[in-house]
Each structure stands twice: as C-alpha cells, then as structure tokens.
Amino acid sequence: MSMAFRWVLRRWLSGASASGPREVARRPLDAAGAGAGDAAAPAAELAPPDSVELYQRLTGDRCAGATDTSPRQHEGAFLDWIHTLLESRQPLAHWVPRPPSMLPRLLACLRGEEPSLREASALVRADPQLVAEIVRQANSARMQHGAPVTDLEQAVLRLGVDGLLRVAGASVMRPLYDARRDVLLAQAAPKLARLALAKSLLCFMQAPRCGVDAFDAYLAGLTHNVGWVGVLRALAVQAPQAPRPYSCGFVVQLSRLSERMYGVSAEQWQINDALTGLGSALRASPLGESTLPLARVLWRAETEAVRKLLVA
C-alpha cells in the first residue's frame, strides 16, 4: 500500500465515529480470512444491511407499510418498466453517469507490463480538472520533495504509477455522484459519495488477503453506488407523480434493482475485465450471493460501510 494511500486511509479512520472506527475497519479483514480461497466462502455469517433503513437514511424520506411486502399498483408499474429496461440491455447512460471515457485507456497504460507515464500524461491532458488535481496532489505536503511542480509532466513523475492510479480513481467520483435537480437524489448523492469512499477504502484493505487486485477492488467500491443514482433518477423521471411515502416492499425491490442497474452499467462501461466481470455477476444475482472473489470483497465492504453509516 503506498504512503499516500495510507495517509488517506488514516484520515478516514480518524474521522470515524466513536463507536470503534478501527474495529469497523478491521472486522472485514479478520472475517475475510488469510487466503484467496476464503473470498468465495458463503456470506451466511454476514447479515445484509437493511435496505429500507438505508434508503431512509440516504433520502430523508420515510417508508410506509412496514409489514406490507407487496408494492402498490403505481409502484409495480415502475418496477415493470425498469425490469424491462434492464432486460433490454439498452445503454443506461441516460440514467447512470459513466466514469471518464479515458479511464480504461489510462488503466491500460499504467497497469500493463511496461507502464508508461508519458502516455498517461498525454491521456489526462484532455481533462483540465484532472490535470489540476494531479498537480495539486503532487504539491501536497505528503508528496513534497524539493521545489513545487508547475506542469503536468513533473507532477506525474512525482506521483508515479501508484499515485497516478489513486488520483485517477478519485476522479471517478466527480461525474458519478452528480445530484442534478432530482429531489430524492439531491438528498442522497452526497451520502452516496461518502459511502462510496468508505467502501473503496475497505475494499482496498481487504483485497490482497482475498486474492483480488487492490485497485480493481478500490474502483468497485467507488462505483458500486451509482446503481442507486440510476434508480432514483429513473424514479424521478418515470414516476414523478407517484405518491410518497413509498411502501417498504417497493424500496426493498429498488435496492436489488440498484445492484442490477450497476451490474448492467459496469458491463457497458468496459473499464477493465474485473469490473466487467463484476457487472455480469451482479446482473445475474444479488451481491451477497455471488461467489466471485471481487464481489465477496465488495459485499463485506458494503456491509461494514452501511452499518457505519446507519449508526452514525
């Protein structure tokens, strides 16, 4: 783990609640086991986060009919529509924002057998915000070695492959959690972004002990919540007049659909083989039931991060 990433991790842990931040961070490592074979173990020992409670915390909206597991008629119509959308394999870019288009190429040139910082510099130059962030990170106190850098090439050389991957991963957050003007999404987006950061750090810590590439796990944690972005945005557009509060049964199904929407989106993004494979797994089955090693890492991180959010 790089010194820069350790600093980010310490900052996140030091800001955790008094309920035991280091224990929260440690438990998934202990539960994950010491070898790659443990990554495919069943998840029976981990209870899934309460999807209704999570929805209410994210949106500030209450659910109705706690004992009613059946969606109402207008809710059922929306569920039918979104099931049809996901089964059709239509592009979901209208509902789910995608990571920067250059990210797959950037990952390819940095994670190949012969990483090329020069090629990476040429790719990121087209994104002024990313360039500014790379220079800022290169001049941060923890990276400062000598005179401040003023241009992209110097900044990339100072950060190196590991640092550039970290900054590129963080840049994924910017377009993914854009709230726009949707009422529920405006409430949820900042919390989804914070939850994504917590999951990405937990994923990064767990991954090596589960035989999973740490940066693949980090990206999975950062992007997983965009399924919620997609379903909340679709709900605002396709069912703007649906009366609230929504039923608990409807929200439970929304939670599963958010995973499927992420799965289909990750397949369509084609960022790398790992995220594409994760997308296929989540399109087919819930995260907690998948035996894919990357899905196991994400499941444990999701469980811990959501629990931490709900007790905060």
Q: Are 276 and 80 contacting, i.e. CB atoms less than 8 angstroms apart?
A: no
User: 222-273 pLDDT, tens per residue?
Assistant: 999 999 999 999 999 998 888 888 999 999 999 999 999 999 999 999 989 9
Q: What are phi and psi of 193, to 5 degrees?
A: -65, -45
CA 273 – CA 293 distance, rounded (Å): 13
Mean pLDDT of 108-136: 85
Q: Which of 52-66, 123-137, 166-180, 239-253 is least confident?
A: 166-180
User: 201-227 pLDDT, tens per residue?
Assistant: 999 999 999 999 988 998 999 999 999
CB hemisphere CA count around 282 (13 angstroms) = 31
Which is nearest to 112 in space by CA: 101, 100, 102, 120?
Answer: 120
